[in-house]
C-alpha cells in the first residue's frame, strides 16, 4: 500500500518548469523556475554567484506568467548584475584577485614550467600551451588554496586542541566551508581570492566546529579567542563575498 501511494504521488507530481535565458547587457543569464507548494507569490533573486536568476513559482502559476514576471523585474536584475561587476575569465590579460590583491594573468609563450605568482609586480605567470591556460590557472589557485588552508587548519587545530581527519577543496556555492561530525573539513577554493585574514577566519570557524557542532556562545567564544580578525572577516564576506564568484571556471 505504501509503495502504491508513493507511486501515485510521483504520478501527480508537477513536471519541472522549463528554464529560460535572459540577456542582460552582454551577458546571458540562465533563468531557473522552481515550483514551491507553500509559496504564495512569485519571488525572484540572483543565484549565489550572481550569474543566474532563480524564480520561485507558487502552485497553479504557469511558466508563462513566471516568465512575464521575470521580464518585468529586468531593471532590478540589471541593477544587481551591475553591482556585482563583470565576470572574470581565466585568460591572458585578465585581472584576478589573489589573496585580495589584483594580479594580471600573463601567458609566457615558448616556455615550459609551473604557474607562479610574482608578488612584487602582481602577475600570475603561466607558461606553456595557451590552450591549457585556464585549466592551469585554476589548478594553481586550487593548489594555493589547499596549501594556505592546510596551514591555517593545522594551526587552529593545535590551538583549539582538536584533530581533523582530512581536508577537501571544492567549489562550494552556498557556503565557504563545512565540518562533518567525523572530522572532515571542506573549503571553497575561492577563499584564495579573498584577503588572507578572510581565509584564516573561515579555517578558524570550521576547526571550532570540531569542538562545537553549533553556533552557540561557546562556539563563538572559541573562535574569537583564537581569531581576532573574525568580525572584520565576517564583514568582508557579507559585503564582498559574492565578488569572488565573478571568476568563471
Quick one: pLDDT band at residue 225, thresholds 50, 70, 90? very high
Q: Are 97 and 54 in contact (CB under 8 A)?
A: no
Q: What is the pLDDT of residues 78-112, one digit of tens each?
A: 998 888 778 899 999 999 999 999 999 999 987 78
Q: Check residue 12 and give its pLDDT.
A: 54
Has residue 174 got a pLDDT over 90?
no
Has residue 248 got a pLDDT over 90?
no
- Rounded Cα distance, 191 and 199, in Å: 5
Q: Check residue 129 and give its pLDDT.
A: 92
Selected residue with higher pLDDT from 27 and 168: 168
Q: Check residue 172 and give its pLDDT.
A: 83
Q: Check residue 110 and give its pLDDT.
A: 75
Least confident of 7-21, 128-142, 206-220: 7-21
How much of the chain exceeds pLDDT 70, in percent?
94
- Rounded Cα distance, 109 and 90, in Å: 16
Q: Check residue 10 and give its pLDDT.
A: 54
pTM of the model: 0.77
Has residue 9 got a pLDDT over 80?
no
Least confident of 48-57, 64-73, 161-170, 209-218: 48-57
State mean pLDDT over 134-147.
97
Q: Could you write out the DSSP letters of every residue in 11-45?
A: HHSPPPPPPEEEEETTEEEEEEEEEETT--S-EEE
DSSP reduced 3-state for 132 = helix
Q: What is the pLDDT of residues 32-42, one digit of tens each?
A: 999 998 999 99
Has residue 7 got a pLDDT over 60?
no
Q: Spell out the long-range contacts of 114-117 with Cβ–Cβ below 8 A and sequence spacing 24 or more.
A: 114/140, 115/139, 115/140, 117/144
Q: Check residue 14 and give its pLDDT.
A: 66
Amino acid at each position: 500500500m505504501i509503495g502504491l501511494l508513493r507511486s501515485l504521488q510521483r504520478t501527480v507530481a508537477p513536471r519541472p518548469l522549463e528554464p529560460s535565458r535572459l540577456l542582460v547587457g552582454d551577458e546571458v543569464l540562465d533563468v531557473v523556475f522552481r515550483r514551491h507548494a507553500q509559496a504564495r507569490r512569485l519571488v525572484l533573486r540572483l543565484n549565489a554567484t550572481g550569474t543566474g536568476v532563480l524564480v520561485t513559482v507558487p502552485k497553479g502559476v504557469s511558466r508563462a506568467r513566471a516568465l512575464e514576471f521575470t521580464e518585468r523585474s529586468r531593471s532590478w536584475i540589471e541593477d544587481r548584475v551591475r553591482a556585482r561587476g563583470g565576470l572574470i575569465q581565466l585568460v591572458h590579460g585578465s585581472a584576478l584577485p589573489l589573496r585580495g590583491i589584483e594580479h594580471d594573468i600573463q601567458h609566457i609563450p615558448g616556455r615550459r614550467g609551473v604557474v607562479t605568482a610574482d608578488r612584487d609586480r602582481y602577475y600570475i605567470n603561466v607558461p606553456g600551451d595557451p590552450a591549457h591556460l585556464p585549466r592551469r590557472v585554476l589548478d594553481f589557485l586550487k593548489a594555493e588554496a589547499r596549501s594556505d588552508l592546510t596551514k591555517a587548519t593545522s594551526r587552529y587545530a593545535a590551538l583549539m586542541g582538536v584533530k581533523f581527519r582530512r581536508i577537501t577543496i571544492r567549489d562550494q556555492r552556498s557556503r565557504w566551508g563545512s565540518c562533518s561530525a567525523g572530522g572532515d573539513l571542506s573549503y571553497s577554493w575561492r577563499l584564495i581570492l579573498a584577503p588572507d585574514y578572510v581565509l584564516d577566519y573561515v579555517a578558524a570557524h570550521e576547526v571550532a566546529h570540531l569542538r562545537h557542532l553549533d553556533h552557540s556562545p561557546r562556539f563563538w567564544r572559541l573562535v574569537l579567542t583564537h581569531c581576532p580578525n573574525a568580525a572584520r572577516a565576517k564583514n568582508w564576506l557579507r559585503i564582498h563575498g559574492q565578488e569572488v564568484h565573478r571568476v568563471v571556471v
